[in-house]
Structure 1
Amino acid sequence: MALPIRRRPRASGTGPGVVGPARVDRRTKTLTKRLQPGDVAVIDHADLDKVSADALVTVRPAAVVNASASISGRYPNLGPQILIDAGIPVLDDAGPEAMTLIDGDPVRLDGPELWSGERHVATGTLLDAETVRAQMHDARAGLAVQIEAFATNTMEFIRKERDLLLDGVGVPPITTDLDGRHCLIVVRGYHYREDLEALRPYIREYRPVLVGVDGGADAILEAGHRPDLIVGDMDSVSDRALRCGAEIVVHAYRDGRAPGLARVEALGITPVVFPAAGTSEDVAMLLADDSGAELIVAVGTHVTLVEFLDKGRDGQASTFLTRLRVGGKLVDAKGVSQLYRARIPGRLLVTMLLVGMLALFAALASTPAGQVWLQVFAARWDDVWTAITGIVT
């Protein structure tokens, strides 16, 4: 099935196809920060994951050129299908030649061919729904191998971080008070916008400690809140979020190296450093658990096995074990939004009743018929009050 290609006005002699300026970056999440609608995104992303694909769709590029295979066959990753469903042309497995383009070069995608002016840059495979469906079917056969690798990585992580997982050894003290409170950890991952919107009543009533994991801090700000704590390696969080007044915890490698530390200190902020293996969202959960949080609500994190594998990191085994560590404290945002019902405080009900009675009195007093009714009511009330005082005295 042929994929419909959107055509844009072009200069004479450029030939048919999708035309736009190339935006080149090996890191997809870095590229999406400067990508504009109508640009051609040139990436080098094997097994394109759902989060990266969602970020690309949000920007609406004219096309995506991937130097690597968007579906390698290791497991059924979710990203390519998202781009195809959004109607974005994808030139797949274009090879390393695609990465030789210079940012801003005008490029033309003509079927499986990528051109820059008169220069032929690369040849790939133009993905369509049928191709993706066939590749995903074949990739499901690789799940068994990936599960075995996942189990191996899990055992390796247990050997490295046994003391941290079992006894909390190495968790640094923080000034943010989490003891006995709810903690909402936001990762800019799966459906984070929808989950944050659904949790507005919960946030308003329970006032949880808001923890942003890297770019999750910006997600909290975009939702109209302010993070209390920002945890991560600081590679995808904005300076605006870092300056918002939240406490900063820099996730460092186990050997103490912290690439994000210099950036935070350059802003005049003294952060807490947390050396640990695994991902930054693991660090945030371990920190919340060790600091005495009563409940940990996770937004945008991984839940299913495919989501763990779709992240594309061997270290996802740490995420699995961290969830076992925090145990019954951890609740997914969707579970909270489905089970939570906003409670109306009693004083609010009394206030609403009084306001309603005042409004009714004002409406009756403003009409002749209402005034007569109020006079009758006053006379009846006087009779009742006289009878009550007579019985008491």
Structure 2
Amino acid sequence: MRLPTVRRTRTVEPGVMAGTARLDRRTKRLVGRLRPGDIAVIDHVDIDRVAADSLVAVGVAAVLNAKPSISGRYPNLGPEVLVQAGIPLIDDLGEVVFEKLREGAHITIEGDAVLLDGETVATGARQDAETVAKAMADAREGLSVQLEAFAANTMEYLKQERDLLLDGVGVPDVETRIAGRHCLIVVRGYDYKADLDVLRPYIREYKPVLIGVDGGADALIESGYTPDMIIGDMDSVTDDVLRCGAEVIVHAYPDGRAPGLARVQSLGVPATTFPAAATSEDLAMLLADEKGAELIVAVGTHANLIEFLDKGRGGMASTFLTRLKVGGKLVDAKGVSRLYRQNISGSSLLLLVLSAIAALASAVAVSTIGKAYLTVVSEWWDNLVFQLGQLF
């Protein structure tokens, strides 16, 4: 059987790069199809850090964005991540890149131009550390406007979902037993891998209810765990994970529409809907709280204003109120991997092993049984040496 030819990105000359284009208007959906060396073509205003981290992790060779990666609304963190990783970022290429390019096309990047079959199809603005720093500085000046909008969104959400926030109205019944247990809620956000790794002893000892929020369910599987529940709009969790046996809660719009429900049902997986205007990670916290969780541990969730804004959606205002609601139970694991890391040097480990051997040898040497064993071993050794001497 003939294997398909795999084209890798190659540098033709300084400032020129050729490779395979992968296109999608949803960055997190595109990440699942990307391979190392691919050129990602996206349509993403204000690239957030989570999206940038996922692109870096995949190993893309370059990112072509139809929209501005920094619009100036707020200082989003994604472009800086890409530039620091040495990944070329070309901005504001326009709708033409999706009209002219097709999935799998072999394209060339020359400076700030994109070429297909030797012809320029789009020209944008190539970003570097200097241009990103300037755009971020300009964006910080307008942060007060975004803060006012965030406050307005927060009040609007409070009016819309006050029954859910205050009384738990609308929280669906679930089969998973939560009352009196710890809940670990995993979002595929900042530092989730490192924090999950550090939390292994906690998970082993307390056996919390494992709740994956969309792609957070995949993160749990990748770390060697099976989620008990999956909550989200089902746009970034894989089919195999949806079939893992976890209880599935589909995030629906306030009017009851749930676009992700059809996908789950097509896989033959039973699911319950949870209509609300909040984000999926907020629904996971509210559900755990309403069902009597003793403690809620959050991994990869959003914890500060810049992260709320960096998520790029007005609905993030719900996170602020949700944290006020469940604050007494909530423990944010963000950055725990940087706060505490178990480091054992090789020399320390060797010293520990040698000390254990020395202690064991001493115990054997002073005990009656140990002396008898030493006598037997000594005689066996003398016989072995004698027999070897006879051979040679």
TM tier, smaller:
0.7 to 0.9
Provide the residue aligned with 2:224 in structure 1: 224
Letter in 1 for 2:151: A
Residue aligning to 1:214: 214
Name which of structure 1's ranges 266-275 and 301-310 shifts more when overlaid on structure 2: 266-275
Asked if 2 retains the 8 angstrom alpha-carbon contact of 1:202 and 1:340, the reply is: no
Q: Spell out structure 1 runs of 4+ moving beyond 3 A.
A: 334-341, 356-371
Aligned equivalents of 1:360, 1:332: Cα separation in 2 = 48
Q: Hey, what does 1:27 align to over in structure 2?
A: 26
Could you tell me which runs of 5 or more consecutive residues in structure 2 were left unpaired when the two chains were aligned: 1-7, 343-357, 376-392
Q: Distance in 2 between matches of 1:191 and 1:48?
A: 17
Q: Which amino acid aligns with 2:146?
A: Q
Distance 2:237 2:284 in 1: 15
Rounded Cα–Cα distance in structure 1 between residues aligned with 2:335 and 2:131: 35
- Distance of aligned partners of 1:340 and 1:249 in 2 relative to their CA distance in 1, 3 Å threshold: farther
Q: CA RMSD in A?
A: 2.6
* Shift in alpha-carbon separation, 1:335–1:236, aligned structure 2, 3 A: closer
* Offset at residue 239 of structure 1 (A): 1.5
1:46 is aligned to: 45
Which is further off, 166-175 or 15-24? 15-24
Per-residue Cα deviation, 1:248-306 (whole angstroms, up to 9, x for no partner): 11111111111111221222222121111111111100100000001100000001110
- d(CA) in 1 for partners of 2:25 and 2:129? 25
Task: Measure, in 2, the Cα distance between the counterparts of 1:335 and 1:116.
Answer: 43
Q: Deviations over 1:73-117 (max 9, x none)?
A: 111100001001111011111111122211111111100111111
Q: How far 1:135 moved relative to its partner?
A: 0.7
2:236 aligns to what?
A: 236
Alignment partners' CA distance in 2, 1:335 and 1:107: 39
Q: Give 1:125's aligned residue.
A: 125
Instruction: Name the aligned partner's letter for residue 42 of structure 1.
Output: V
> Is 1:51–1:190's contact at 8 Å kept on the other side of the alignment?
yes
Matching residue's letter, 1:8: R
Would the aligned equivalents of 2:186 and 2:211 in 1 still touch at CA under 8 Å?
yes
1:382 aligns with: none
Q: Which residue of 2 aligns with 1:85?
A: 84
User: How many angstroms does 1:118 deviate by?
Assistant: 2.3
Matching of residues 353-392 of structure 1 within 5 Å: 364=367, 365-367=369-371
| Corresponding letter in the other structure for 2:225 | H
Percent identity of the aligned residues? Answer: 62
Contact 1:234 1:260 in 2 (8 A): yes
Q: Is 1:256 the equivalent of 2:224?
A: no
For 2:10, the aligned partner's letter is: R
| Counterpart residue type for residue 21 of structure 1 | T
Distance in 1 (alpha carbons) for counterparts of 2:208 and 2:359: 35
SS in 2 for 1:260: helix
Query: What letter matches 2:162 in structure 1?
Result: R
Q: Say if 1:217 and 1:227, in contact at 8 Å, map to a contact too.
A: yes
* Distance (Å, rounded) in 2 between the aligned partners of 1:190 and 1:9: 31
Residue 336 of structure 1 and its aligned partner are, at CA, apart by 6.4
Maintained 8 Å contact 1:49/1:311: yes
Query: Displacement of 1:320 after TM fit?
Result: 1.1
- Kept in 1: contact 2:9–2:37 (CA 8 A): no
